[in-house]
Structure 1
Amino acid sequence: MKNTLLSSPLQGFTDFRFRNAFHKYFGGIDTFYSPYIRLNGKLVIKGSYERDILPENNTTLEVIPQIITNDADEFVFVAKYVQSLGYKELNWNLGCPYPMVAKCGMGSGLISNTSQIEHILDRAHSETDIIVSMKMRMGYEEPTEILDVFPILDKYPIKNVAIHARIGKQLYKGGVDLDSFQRCLDVSKQKLYYNGDITSVEAYRALQERFPSIDHWMIGRGLIADPFLPSMIKNNTTEYPKNRYEVFKEFHDTIFEEYDAYLSGPTPIRMKMLGFWEYFAESFPNPQKTFKKIKKAGNTKNYLSAVEEIFKDA
């Protein structure tokens, strides 16, 4: 069975700068999902969202835009907007677990509101011809919440449902709930994708063995922590290339330069890269010590020196 690998959208991380560099240096991802577009009640697309999905910023990639909303007007507006850029599909985020989103009735906080989900899907399919796909958790409070959504999805030509096998209130704590994901497979008529804790080739193989009918796999945090992971999965190997850290360093330098040119001042770029290093550190022999070196670097000069030292030691 041919397996397709997808990049799960991570807000603040997987924008077009990251995606382009990742594709150039590592590869292995068939389709990238853009971090979600959020309108907050105003039918206006922010410049940062627009830049992220402009075709000229994504020339070598297959990218699917994503929206997070609980409002039908917003959904229809964004659907027509992305279509004007040439996109045929819009992914709807019902997975974001963060309380500030969920408590507003969006992301995983919308899963239990089946009537609103149906209303939005009805408007989307009656007023546009956009292809709709879904990114979901199994619920916010309980993993059974998603089961009440499937009959609604069956009324519409939903392309697929990517399920992160946790509930929203877990955030990323605790393990994935594979039994509940299996229950989704048992009852849903939808094309399901799997997402959650694909952090190594071994973990991927175990999931593939557990769910042989799944042929689309979405990788989120694991892709940032180990950028070689998708290509290693595709090549069916657990061996890293001999020049592993040289390639990683070139990738790091590329995204650093991109973000440094975009962000204004030393503090934003430091905080941006600090976020990446929370994950990058996992690729080094002593993650805690590696991340500590980055945290201690109080300015750009010290940061770059710390990065040189980390890669040299690796």
Structure 2
Amino acid sequence: MNQTLLSSPLQGFTDYKFRNAFNHFFGGIDTFYSPYIRLNGKLIIKNSYKNDILPENNTELEVIPQIITNDVDEFLFVSKYVQELGYKELNWNLGCPYPMVTKRGMGSGLIADTKKINTILHKIHNESDILVSMKMRMGYDTPEEILDVLPILDTYPLKNIAIHARIGKQLYKGGTNLEAFQKCLDNSKHKMYYNGDITSVTAFKKLKERFNSIDHWMIGRGLIADPFLPNMIKNDTTEYPRNRFEIFHEFHDRIFEEYDAALSGPTPIKMKMLGFWEYFSRSFSNPQKTYKKIKKASNAKAYSIAVKEIIKEAKNN
């Protein structure tokens, strides 16, 4: 069985600048999901969302746009927009766990509202020919919430359901609930994708052995923490390339330059790269020391020196 690897959409991380650089230096991802489009009650799409899914910004990638909403008019508006760009599929985010989203009844905060989910899907499938796929958690408060939704989803011709095997209120804490994920497999006719804690080749193999009917795997934070991971999974190896840290350094410099050019002032680029290094640091022998060194860099010159020192030390280990 061929294994298809997907990049989970991570807000603030996996935009087109990151996706293109990742694809160039590492590869291994078959399809990228763009971070969600959110309209906030107005039928206006922000330029940052538009730029992220423009075909000319994703020429070498297969990308699926994503929406987060609890409003059917917003869903229809975005569906029409992405279709005008040539996209045939729109992914609906019912997975975001963050309180600023869930308290407004979106993301994983919408899973318990089966009536609204049904109403939105009914209208979308009657008024649009967009292909709909789902990205979900198993609930917000309990993993049983999704079991009430799955029979409703079974009545629609969804492309697939990608499930992150946690509940929303966990955020990213605690382990995944594999027993609850199995119940999802047992209670849906739809094609399921697995998402959650694919952080190493060994972890992937254990999941593949347990869920042998799954052939689509979504990697989120693990992809940023170890950019070599998807390609290593594809090649069934735990061996890194000899020039591992040179490749990472080139990748880092490319995204730094692109974000630095797009962001105004030293503070935004520092915060942007700090976010990445929270994950990047996990690929180094002493993650805390690595992250602390980046955090202490007070300006662009100090940051560049810190990165070079980190890479040099890693190559010498």
**TM-score bucket of the superposed structures, by smaller chain:** over 0.9
Partner of residue 151, structure 1: 151
Q: Deviations over 1:53-96 (max 9, x none)?
A: 00000000000000000000000000000000000000000000
Partner of residue 185, structure 1: 185
Rounded Cα–Cα distance in structure 2 between residues aligned with 1:281 and 1:154: 42
Give the Å deviation of 1:231.
Answer: 0.1
Q: Deviations over 1:278-305 (max 9, x none)?
A: 0000011111100000000011110111
Partner of residue 264, structure 2: 264
Q: Deviations over 1:170-222 (max 9, x none)?
A: 00000000000001111111100000000000000000001000000000000
Q: How many residues align?
A: 314
Rounded Cα–Cα distance in structure 2 between residues aligned with 1:229 and 1:61: 18
Partner of residue 92, structure 2: 92
Partner of residue 224, structure 1: 224
Rounded Cα–Cα distance in structure 2 between residues aligned with 1:308 and 1:112: 48
Partner of residue 306, structure 1: 306
Give the Å deviation of 1:107.
Answer: 0.1
Partner of residue 73, structure 2: 73
Structure 1 stretch displaced more, 148-157 or 215-224? 148-157
Unaligned runs of 5+ in 2: none
Q: TM-score, normalised by structure 1?
A: 1.00
Give the Å deviation of 1:151.
Answer: 1.1
Partner of residue 54, structure 2: 54
Alignment partner of 1:149: what SS? helix
Q: Deviations over 1:1-38 (max 9, x none)?
A: 10000000000000000000000000000000000000
Q: Deviations over 1:250-270 (max 9, x none)?
A: 000000000000000111001
Rounded Cα–Cα distance in structure 2 between residues aligned with 1:25 and 1:147: 40
* Mapping 1:199-210, distance limit 5 Å: 199-210=199-210
Letter in 2 for 1:150: L
Alignment partner of 1:151: what SS? helix
Percent of pairs with identical residues: 77
Partner of residue 26, structure 1: 26
Rounded Cα–Cα distance in structure 2 between residues aligned with 1:273 and 1:45: 26
Give the Å deviation of 1:223.
Answer: 0.1
Partner of residue 37, structure 2: 37
Unaligned runs of 5+ in 1: none
Rounded Cα–Cα distance in structure 2 between residues aligned with 1:303 and 1:120: 47
Partner of residue 244, structure 1: 244
Give the Å deviation of 1:154.
Answer: 1.2
Partner of residue 283, structure 2: 283
**Structure 1 stretches (4+) deviating beyond 2 angstroms?**
none
Q: Deviations over 1:103-146 (max 9, x none)?
A: 10000000000010011111111111000000000000000100
Rounded Cα–Cα distance in structure 2 between residues aligned with 1:143 and 1:270: 37
Alignment partner of 1:133: what SS? strand
Q: C-alpha root-mean-square deviation of aligned residues, in Å? A: 0.4
Rounded Cα–Cα distance in structure 1 between residues aligned with 2:152 and 2:47: 34
Letter in 2 for 1:146: I
Letter in 2 for 1:49: Y
Structure 1 stretch displaced more, 216-225 or 180-189? 180-189
Letter in 1 for 2:69: T
Structure 1 stretch displaced more, 228-237 or 298-307? 298-307
Q: TM-score, normalised by structure 2?
A: 0.99
Rounded Cα–Cα distance in structure 2 between residues aligned with 1:68 and 1:123: 16
